Structure formats: C-alpha cells, structure tokens
C-alpha cells in the first residue's frame, strides 16, 4: 500500500500558491502545513493574554480561505500546527470556514501542549544551565507533543486537524501511521515516518529553495518553486517528488542538504516519537525530480518531552545609517565611534558594526535592554548623525521591538495530558 503526503508550508510566512497547486492536482491523501516557529508560539501566547480569542496563527483565516475549498473539493485531509497558542479558537475559525463552504467535514483540535502551569521553574534551561526562573518573566511553556497526540483525532474521522506545539515531523508521522496502519510503538515505523516528515517539513527547502547559488548550483524556475510530496509505502520506504511544470528541482543534492538540516546528532535525532538514526539512510535518484529514500533506523522514543519556554527578555533596538562613495567605510566607522561615545555614560552596551562594501556601507547599532527609553535614545543618537555626524549619512532606519527569549527544558510525559476536541458542523464533542 502507498499513500501520498504533501507539504504545503514550511514556516508561518510561506507562500500559498504551491499548496493550492498540490491540492488541485497533486493526488494527495494528506497535506501538512508547518507554520509554527519556537518564538511564534510565545508571541501568540502574548496576543492571547491581550485577547482571549487571539493566539492562533494570524494568517490562518487567509491561508485556509484559499486552501480549504480545494481540500474539500479534492478530498485531501489537512494537518497543521496553525492552532499555535490557541488551537481551540483556531479550530472554531476553521469550522466557520468549512460551514460557509457547506462542508460537514470534521475539524479536530489537539490540545495539551501548554504546560505553563506544570512547569518546574527551578529546572535548568538547556542553553544556559541556569534555572528557568532566572531568565525573566516566563510567558509561555509548550511541550512538543508527538504523533500519538494527533492519532486519536484521525481515528475520530477528522478531515482538518489543528494543533499547537507538536514536533514538526510528528505532523507527518501521524497521518502516515493512520493511513498505513503503523504501530507508533514500533521504532522502525516511527523512524521511517519521522524521516519523511523531517524531509518535508520545510516545504520548498527540499525542492530547490534555500539552495541556489548562481554559477555553482543553479535552480530552474525558482520564482515558480513547487513544494514536495512523498509516496510512502507500508514498509517505510518513500519516494519524493514535485509536480510537473513547477519550478525548482528535487535531486540527491537538495535532499541531502535537507536531510541534515538542523540535525545536531545524526545518530540520535530525538523527537517525541522516536530516536532517529541517519547513518543508514540511502538516497537513490529514480528520475527527474524523483528521489527514493530508505534506511531510517529508530530506537525507542525518549521518556521526557522537550518544552519550549518563552520569557520576557526586554526589548531590542536596531538602528542603521548609510555612507557611500570614497572613504565611506571610514566615515561609517567614525559615526560608530561617535554614537558609542554619546552612549558611553549609559548602562547600554550596544553592538556597533559597519556592514557592506568599502564604498557603500551601513553603520549598524543594536542593543537589548529592559529600559525602553534607553533604547529609544540609542535610536535617536543614530538618527542624529544626519546633522551631528560625518559627511553624507543617509537612509536612517530604526526598529524597536519587544523580545521574547526562548529556552528549552524537559518534562516527564506523565505531566503532559494531550486531548482532542472534535468540532463537527454545528456542535462540538470531546474524543479523548
């Protein structure tokens, strides 16, 4: 048995047209949209604090308004983490869109990733070794749920699944396990599906996006970049492809780059579902834009789940000004010295650097602080270079914004309770 799963988004701001194309003529069984970066969910929690019906992906309504009509028409199931910090509300919006299309397809919402109330604030952060509470006010804590949290939604017959924080490959492993009858407790099956998910989760990065280097690595038709799909067999082997007529390319080189993307331990890539070993993976080009991938090996899943913790890290200012022509670099450097001197009496420790070529460059001043007035002063001092600095400064841009820092920790599985809510046309019920 073979099932076809497509990748319709690799990050929150991804393009919509390639997903429309896959839905319309891809012959897909499932489409997965991965839209949730670590910081995105923390920012979503802040929006939810300000407004209880906010916090899901702010592009969900516009993205789904374009994609759901095609998904309904072509019978494609959709799984996405666009629920972000408020999956239930994202589910209700999705339900409303389906109702307006006259579709009775069931929407399922996966909850339970929000573990803020369960968090041990004395636990150390991975990145710093310091207790979580020392980093600042904690605003969010989301556990990475696995495919086992999504599977009950699929068993209940959901045609659209909204999640919050779920490990990216798990978004793919769950529908694959459901279609192919895999047991998630079998590490070889979990490894095979996780490898497929890992390769597809960044969408266009498998098909020639984030790859082109003119003259060395040319990619045809990048402006019409198509997104990938995989034909996955019951034994776990998978052949990756993209639709005819789309731009980009899919070959051993693009697959190889994505295979190791963000992998910090190739012998033990840990997800909530499995510990994946890539040392036996083989790639085989089967034709134009067709690559077969085999050899994923797995060991039992970790006992604890990773938690992404967001904390208030103050604010950040970034201010720049341009210099051009002969002596530009020296004038930019002088401008940097002037700003540093003018800020030297403050508590600010800005990063001051000159970026760009010798005759066209920008002075860049960046700083973080909990004192917003001080950051505004830094921005003002860069702007003041117009009339109080070297000759020929132009094009000042100042950006000041709040910073949510992200650190990670672990939580025992027993402290995380995932649940599924089914939103049927006109009513809601709880499936597990």
Partner 1 sequence: MPVPLRELAHCRAGDKGNLATLSVFPHDDADFAVLVREVTARRVREHLAAWVGGEVVRHELPNLCALQFVCERGADAGVTTSLELDTHGKTLGTLLLSLPVDP
User: Would you tell me which residues interact with partner 1 (CB under 8 A)?
Assistant: 37-39, 126-128, 210-211, 213, 216-217, 253, 256-267, 278-283, 295, 313, 316, 351, 355, 364, 366-368, 403-408
Q: Which is nearer to partner 1, 113 or 201 (CB)?
A: 201
Q: What does the alpha-carbon distance between residue 1 and residue 279 come to, in Å, rounded to a whole number?
A: 26
Q: Which is nearer to partner 1, 346 or 368 (CB)?
A: 368
Shortest reach from residue 106's CB to partner 1, in Å: 35
Shortest reach from residue 311's CB to partner 1, in Å: 10
Q: Which is nearer to partner 1, 111 or 369 (CB)?
A: 369
Shortest reach from residue 261's CB to partner 1, in Å: 5
Shortest reach from residue 111's CB to partner 1, in Å: 25
Q: Which is nearer to partner 1, 137 or 213 (CB)?
A: 213
Q: What does the alpha-carbon distance between residue 109 and residue 105 come to, in Å, rounded to a whole number?
A: 13
Q: Which is nearer to partner 1, 351 or 429 (CB)?
A: 351
Shortest reach from residue 180's CB to partner 1, in Å: 25
Shortest reach from residue 158's CB to partner 1, in Å: 30
Shortest reach from residue 348's CB to partner 1, in Å: 11
Q: Which is nearer to partner 1, 107 or 202 (CB)?
A: 202
Q: Which is nearer to partner 1, 116 or 253 (CB)?
A: 253
């Amino acid at each position: 048995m073979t099932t076809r799963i497509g990748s319709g988004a690799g990050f929150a701001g991804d393009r919509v047209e390639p997903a429309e194309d896959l839905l319309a003529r891809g012959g897909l069984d499932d489409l997965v949209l991965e839209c949730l970066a670590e910081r995105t969910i923390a920012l979503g929690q802040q929006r939810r604090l300000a407004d209880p019906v906010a916090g899901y992906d702010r592009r969900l309504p516009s993205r789904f308004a374009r994609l759901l009509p095609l998904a309904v028409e072509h019978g494609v199931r959709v799984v996405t983490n666009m629920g972000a910090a408020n999956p239930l509300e994202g589910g209700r919006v999705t339900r409303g869109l389906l109702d307006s299309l006259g579709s009775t397809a069931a929407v399922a919402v996966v909850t339970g990733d929000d573990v803020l109330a369960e968090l041990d604030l004395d636990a150390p952060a991975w990145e710093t070794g310091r207790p979580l509470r020392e980093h600042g006010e904690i605003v969010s804590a989301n556990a990475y749920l696995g495919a086992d949290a999504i599977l009950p939604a699929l068993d209940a017959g959901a045609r659209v699944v909204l999640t919050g924080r779920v490990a990216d490959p798990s978004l793919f492993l769950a529908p694959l396990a459901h279609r192919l009858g895999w047991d998630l407790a079998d590490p070889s099956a979990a490894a095979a599906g996780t490898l497929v998910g890992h390769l597809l989760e960044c969408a266009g990065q498998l098909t020639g996006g984030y790859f082109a280097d003119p003259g060395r690595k040319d990619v045809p038709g990048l402006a019409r970049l198509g997104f990938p799909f995989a034909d996955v067999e019951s034994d776990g082997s998978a052949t990756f492809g993209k639709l005819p007529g789309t731009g980009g390319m899919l070959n051993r080189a693009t697959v190889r780059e994505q295979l190791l993307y963000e992998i910090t331990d190739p012998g033990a890539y840990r997800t909530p579902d499995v510990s994946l070993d890539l040392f036996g993976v083989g790639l085989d080009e089967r034709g134009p834009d067709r690559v077969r991938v085999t050899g994923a090996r797995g060991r039992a899943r970790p006992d604890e789940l990773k938690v992404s913790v967001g904390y208030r890290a103050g604010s950040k200012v970034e201010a720049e000004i341009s210099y051009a022509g002969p002596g530009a670099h020296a004038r930019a450097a002088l401008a940097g010295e002037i700003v540093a001197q003018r800020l030297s009496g403050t508590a600010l420790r800005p990063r001051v650097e000159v970026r760009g070529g010798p005759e066209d460059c920008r002075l860049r001043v960046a700083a973080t602080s909990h004192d917003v007035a001080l950051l505004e002063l830094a921005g003002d001092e860069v702007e003041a270079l117009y009339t109080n600095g070297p000759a020929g400064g132009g094009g000042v841009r100042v950006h000041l914004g709040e910073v949510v820092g992200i650190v990670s920790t672990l939580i025992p599985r027993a402290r995380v309770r995932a649940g599924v809510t089914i939103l049927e046309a006109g009513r809601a019920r709880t499936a597990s």
